[in-house]
Every structure is written in C-alpha cells, then in structure tokens.
Amino acid sequence: METNAQRLLADVKSQLEQFYIPNAEQYEANVTAFLDQCPDDRILADATVAWDNKEEFDFLWDTKLFDCRFSVGLTDTRWHLWAGVNNHSKDDECYQNGIGGMEIAGNEDFFAYTFFESMEWEIKTKLET
C-alpha cells in the first residue's frame, strides 16, 4: 500500500477508535480491500475520508474537476462520481456522472473496480485536455 492509501487507512483507524465504531475489524478489512483495488495511488491524493455517523466510511473528492464519493459499509458499497467543472454546488450538473454500488461479500477483489476505472479514465482525459 502506498502513501496516500496509507494516510487514508490511518485516518480510518483513528476514526474507528475516536467514534467507538462496532465491527471495527470488518470495516478496516473492507477499507483495506477498497484501497488495495486502487490502480494508481495518485488517484487517492485528493481524497479524504469521514465516518458518516451511521454505517459507512465516505471517501470524498471535492476538487476543481471532481465531486466523488465512495462509501464503504460493513456489507456493501455505494459510489457517486461527477466529473467536469465542479462549482462545489450539489445542484450544478457536471459533464459526466455515474453511480454504482455492490455487495462486498463475493466481490472482495473487484467491488471498487468500476469506480476506480472511471476515476482513472476521467483523470487521464482531464489531464490530456
């Protein structure tokens, strides 16, 4: 695991302790699986992570070109990706968007594949223009 992934995992571990989150080992395992699926650590450079105070860790990107969220729960995931000019207003529509979700059990090695594939494609596309 590389630097950005390590930073995010350390943040998750800190929040597990800070908020006394039950099933901490399972959350940590699911987050580790998510981070391990990232094909390029640079994708995680602008990401932050926050406990949603309910049942998921939200990995968030809020940059000039991205408004993204990948949520890791105990049993499943959800994600949202808006790519384009991000005015940091939830009511503004970006040029491309996608949503997805998947159960973790049975999909441990690829539940984040589509998300990371979309992020990687968008990043490469934005850098080339």
Query: Which own/partner pairs from 31-35 qualify as long-range (CB within 8 Å, at least 24 positions apart)?
Result: 31/57, 31/72, 32/1, 33/104, 33/108, 33/109, 33/111, 33/112, 34/59, 34/70, 34/72, 34/77, 34/111, 34/112, 35/1, 35/5, 35/8, 35/9
Instruction: Report the range of poorest mean pLDDT among 61-65, 86-90, 98-102, 113-117.
Output: 86-90
**pLDDT tens-digit profile of 25-59?**
999 999 999 999 999 999 999 999 999 999 999 99
pTM reported for the whole predicted model: 0.91
pLDDT, residue 2, reads 81
Please give the radius of gyration of the chain, using alpha carbons only, rounded to the nearest integer: 14
In the chain, the largest separation of any two C-alpha atoms, in whole Å, equals: 45
pLDDT, residue 103, reads 93
pLDDT, residue 122, reads 86
